[in-house]
Amino acid sequence: MVFSSAIFLLVFLPVVFISNFIAKTVKKEASNYLLLLASLIFYAWGEPYLVILMIISILINWGVGVILTKTEGKTRAFALAVGVIADLSMLGYYKYAGFFVRTVNGIIGKDLLPAVDIALPIGISFFTFQAISYIADVFRGETEASKKPVNVALYISFFPQLIAGPIVKYRDINRQIDDRSITFEGVSDGFKRFIYGLGKKVLIANVLGACVDKIYGYDITQLDAKTAWIGALCYTFQIYYDFSGYSDMAIGLGKMFGFSFLENFRYPYLSHSISEFWRRWHISLGSWFREYVYIPLGGNKKGTRRTYLNLVIVFFLTGLWHGADLSFIIWGLYHGFFSIIERLGFKKFLEKSKVISVIYTFLIVNFGWVLFRADDTLTGIRYLTRMLLPWRHADLSIDIWDYSSVRTYIIFAAAVIGMGFFDRFVPQKIKDRWSGSVTEAIYCVIILLLSLAAIAADTYNPFIYFQF
């Protein structure tokens, strides 16, 4: 089930919201059980048997959390290790077993290991990282282990951020799980945020995505420079509006049920460096790797060489987290390379011009998305050559209107404007007048109606980050 589906918008969400309000009125704890049940149903909607995997993860991490509160010394460290290994083993088996087999067979040059075809549980990367952060924080004394299995279960499985984040830390919402209130202001703000996210997804990302899929579906030898650039730029904005739209919907839904999730995007395409980009893009993932990998490895406190090694490890894992394929690893290391280059002194040059630094960052990110989106690394590199060496691939057979329309370019222009220019350049007084005004309410109603119309038309409607 996806947020931008008719069954979710017209049946699941209204039923759960009204039922939760009634349960909250009757007894506070009843709300947790209701939301847990709703979350398990939400997750089991497409692949019912995989909900068993989530229940196993919940029980393991709740049990490890309880053990950590009752043990000390090496026994305590052993319990944490067992919990982390169990979490990573499930993630590794379902997400990386096939990649491991293909890699080994490729290195050896023959099919030494039998091919495996394992269905990837949706959102497993997200809820696994949440589970690990829970037991790690309990071990470090940064949060108390919950004695109530329902609290840990709701934390790991809560449907608004279950499928594609943001990745939430238990210490940030543990008090909200035990005691939260549903207010008119919270519900209205949440509903508004959800509509904005729905519009990003349905009205912008889906339109651009249809163009992207057509371009990337062509044989690479058919692409000229113009087509390659259009495909690359459209995908750059598609993935931003798709993922940030999902995060907006998740944050909005959280508010509607009394939860407050941290922001996951802060206009990353207006960043002045790759380092800044990663402080603005998928903030919860960057924060997770910084807190549970980079800092434990020593961060930047063990010398320059160790710092660079730590960065390489983090970006390698970032790429691997996104997908079990060499192209994702290369994409992660690609970003790590530019982060290190900036630390070596290039960032000082970028600081001399805000315009040049934004253009540089956008182009580097845009080229990276080509590697991310292409079917394989070789295709991605060949795609980039068509962008960077236009004189070698000019005037090929594909007509621009075969893969796009006037609507595509209107939406693209809206996407460019909406990537942060409004927030950065519009005076605060105007933004204050807009927020909560009748005009904004009318605007939200229009977005909602247009989104529902697009969904009713059964148009192209994937979520990119479901695969991670």
Residue 467: pLDDT band with limits 50, 70, 90: low
- Position 5 scores a pLDDT of 84
Q: Which residues are catalytic?
A: 322
pLDDT tens sequence across 55-92 = 999 999 999 999 999 888 889 999 999 999 999 999 99
Lowest-confidence pick of 88-97, 157-166, 391-400: 391-400
Question: Is pLDDT above 70 for 435?
Answer: yes
Report CA-CA distances (Å) from 285 to 130, 165, 167, 249, 279.
10, 9, 6, 17, 10
- Position 215 scores a pLDDT of 94
The answer to whether the bond into 166 is cis (omega within 30° of 0) is: yes
Question: Is pLDDT above 80 for 113?
Answer: no
pTM greater than 0.85: yes
Lowest-confidence pick of 331-335, 362-366, 379-383, 434-438: 434-438
Sign of CA dihedral 413, 418, 421, 427: positive
pLDDT tens sequence across 304-321 = 899 999 999 999 999 999
Provide CB contacts within 8 A for 452, sequence distance 6+: 9
Report the distance separating Cα 24 and Cα 97, nearest Å. Answer: 43
- Mean pLDDT over 273-297 rounds to 95
- Position 459 scores a pLDDT of 64
Residue burial 231-241, b: 16+ Cβ < 10 Å; e: rest: bbbbbbbbbbb
When the pLDDT of each residue in the chain is averaged and rounded to a whole number, the result is 90
Report the distance separating Cα 235 and Cα 241, nearest Å. Answer: 10
